[in-house]
Structure formats: C-alpha cells, structure tokens
Structure 1
Amino acid sequence: MKTILILLTFLTLTAINAQSSYEKGMNKAFELWKNNTPEEAINMFERIAKAEKENWLPYYYAAQIHITSTFGSKDAEAIESRLKKAQEYLNESKTIAKENAEIYIMEALLNTAYVAYNPSVYGMTHSAKVEQLYQKAKALEPKNPRAVLYHAEWKMGSAKFFGSDPKAFCPEVEKAILYFENETQDIPFYPKWGKNEVKRVQKNCKG
C-alpha cells in the first residue's frame, strides 16, 4: 500500500511539473510576441508543440503570428513564405483538433491575408474559401465572437468592393460585442482575442 501511495504521489507531482512547464513555456512565448520578437515566439511555440503532441494551441498561435505579420507588409517573398508556413501549422492543428471553430477562423484569416496581399491573383480562388471557413466556424459555434466579428468585417469589405452598403452588417458587429461579453472558456491559453478590434470594425458603421 505504501508503495502504491508513493507511486501515485510521484505521478501526481510529475503531472503538475509537466503542466507547469507547459504554462511557463506558453507564457514565455506570449511575452516574446508582445515584446516584438515574433520569430523567437514562433520558435518557442513550435518547441512546445513538439513536446505537447496532443495540444493544438501552440501550432495555432505560431500560425497566427505568421498571418498577422503579413498585414501591411510589402515584401512579397516574405508574405508567401509566412502564409505557407502558417498553413502548415494550421494543418498540424487540424490533425489534433478536428472540426474546431477557432482553427477555421484562423484559416479564414489566412486566406483573407492572401486576398489582401494580392487580390488579382488570390481574390477569385481564396474569397470563396474565406466564406466557407467562416460558415463552418459559425455552424460549430454560432456565438463565437471572433467568427461573428471577422466574418462581418469580411462581408463589409466585400460590400465596399461591389458598391454595396457595409453598414448592412453592423448588427453582426453588435452581436459580436455581446458574445465577447458573455464569452466563458476556462481552458488555459484558449483563444480569447479580438475584442480590442471591435472599434476598428465599427468604423464601417459610421457616416
């Protein structure tokens, strides 16, 4: 009996230490990202992903850094490289977490990045993908604030392009605000980003 108790204690301590190591690594990666050292953050997330083989989040965040780094960039070669790598990371995430709304949202943003970077090349092929991915995400989680907000922004952009009124999608932004307020998810490091982008998207509702 004593041997069993010692073994259980050892296993419990090992689990706690492993969790602590994961949390420390993730916090460090986010800190690196916040401090404008994205490449170091990506490397950290990738190392965590290789250690946490059943966890989709490190690959997801590595992809997000690559994607967000392309917006505003003029370096075509770097953009293509980052978006290709981001897709690889998201593919890894999808092998771990199948039918995941957050991954679909991130993949929609990836395809949005392609369209924003070179609409004449990617507009026709990737626009349909963006719409499909948001629809998949919202089918899984109708009240996911990121799905609702960024899908609304995408539709606003499309409306402007085709000469329609983007304000038609402002009610969706209002829904997203409500969903952000009611968002409850206690899984460590689970995606909760996006709320600070509401005001930027709401600019389409003025005038």
Structure 2
Amino acid sequence: MKTIILIASFFIVLTSNAQQAYEKGMGKAFELWGNQKNDEAANLFERIGRAEKDNWLPFYYAAQIHIIKTFNTKDAEEIESRLKKAQNYLNEAKTFSKDNAEILILEAMLNTAYVVYDGTKYGMTHSPKVEELYQRAKKIEPENPRATLYHAEWQMGAAKFWGKDPKAFCPEIEKAILYFEKESNTTPFYPDWGKDQIKRIQQNCE
C-alpha cells in the first residue's frame, strides 16, 4: 500500500513540475511576442510544442505570429516563407486537436493573408478556402466570437470587391460583440483575442 502511495505521489510531483514548466515557457513566449521579438517567440512556442507532444496551443501561437507578421511586410520571399511555416505549424496543431474551431479560424486567416499578399495569384484558389473554413468553424462553435467577427470582415471585403454594400454584414459584428461578452474559457492560454479589433472592423459600418 505504501509503495502504491509513493508511486502515485511521484507521478503527481512530475505532473505538477511539467505543468509549471509549461506555464513558465508559455508565459515567456508571450512576453517575447509582446516585446516584438516575433521570431524568438515563435521558435519558443515551437520548442514547447515539441516538448509537450500532445498540446495544440504552442503550435497554434507559433502559426499566428507568422500569419500576423505577413500583414506588416512587403517582402514577397518573407511572406511566402512565413505562411509556409504557419501552415506547417497548423498541420502540427491539427494532429492533436481535430475539428477545432480556433485552428480553423486561424487557417482562414492564413488563406486570407495569401489573398491580401497576391490576389491575382491566390484569389481564385484561396478565397473559397477562407469561406469554407469560417463556415466549418461556425458550425462547430456557432457563438465563437472570432469566427463571427473575422468572417464578417472577410465578407465585407468581398462585398467591396464586387461593388456591394459591406454594411449588410454589420449585424454580424454586433453578434460578435455579444459572443465576446459571453466568452468564458478555463483552459490556460486558450485563445481569447480579437475584441480589440472590433472598432477597426466597424469602420466599414460608418
């Protein structure tokens, strides 16, 4: 009986130490990202993901860093490189978490980045992917605020391109606001971003 208790205690300590190491590492990666050390943060997220082996979140954030970075650069080679890295990270994340709305949303943003980067080259092939990914995410989580908000932004952009009124999608932004208010996640480091972009996207409604 004592042996069983000792073994159980040993595994509890190991699990606790591993969790502490994970939380410390993730905190450091977010700190690097917050200090604009994007590549260092992405590399750290990747290392955490390799160490965790069954956690999609580190790979998710590594991908997100590269996707966001492409919107702020005009260097074609860098954009292509970052988007390929991001897709690889998302593929890693999907091996640990299938039918995950957050991963689908980020993959929709990745495909959006391709269209923004070179609409002539990628518009016809990647635009349908964006729409499909948002629809899948909303089917899995109908009240996901990021899926609702960024799908609305995508639809507004498409409406402008085809000479239609983007304001038709403004009610979706109002829905997203409500979903953000209702959102409650207990998993450490679970995605909760996007609320700070509402005003920017709402400019299409003015």
With the shorter chain as reference, the TM-score category is over 0.9
SS of residue paired to 1:187: coil
- Give the root-mean-square deviation of aligned CA atoms: 0.6
> Which stretch of the first structure deviates more once superposed, 93-102 or 142-151?
93-102
SS of residue paired to 2:121: helix
Which residue of structure 2 lines up, in the alignment, with residue 33 of structure 1?
33
Q: Distance in 2 between matches of 1:85 and 1:33?
A: 17
Amino acid at match of 1:64: Q
Which residue of structure 2 lines up, in the alignment, with residue 19 of structure 1?
19
Which residue of structure 1 lines up, in the alignment, with residue 76 of structure 2?
76
**TM-score normalised according to structure 1 size:** 0.98
Q: Distance in 1 between matches of 2:74 and 2:5?
A: 61
Cα displacement (A) at 1:3: 2.2
Q: Distance in 1 between matches of 2:54 and 2:83?
A: 23
Which residue of structure 2 lines up, in the alignment, with residue 139 of structure 1?
139
Cα displacement (A) at 1:185: 1.1
Which residue of structure 2 lines up, in the alignment, with residue 101 of structure 1?
101
Cα displacement (A) at 1:189: 0.6
Query: What does 1:109-188 correspond to in 2, within 5 Å?
Result: 109-188=109-188
Amino acid at match of 2:74: K
Cα displacement (A) at 1:96: 1.0
Q: Distance in 2 between matches of 1:48 and 1:127?
A: 32
Q: Distance in 1 between matches of 2:170 and 2:164?
A: 13
Percent identity over the alignment? 67
Q: Distance in 2 between matches of 1:123 and 1:6?
A: 60
Question: Where in structure 2 are there 5+ consecutive unaligned residues?
Answer: none
Cα displacement (A) at 1:2: 2.1
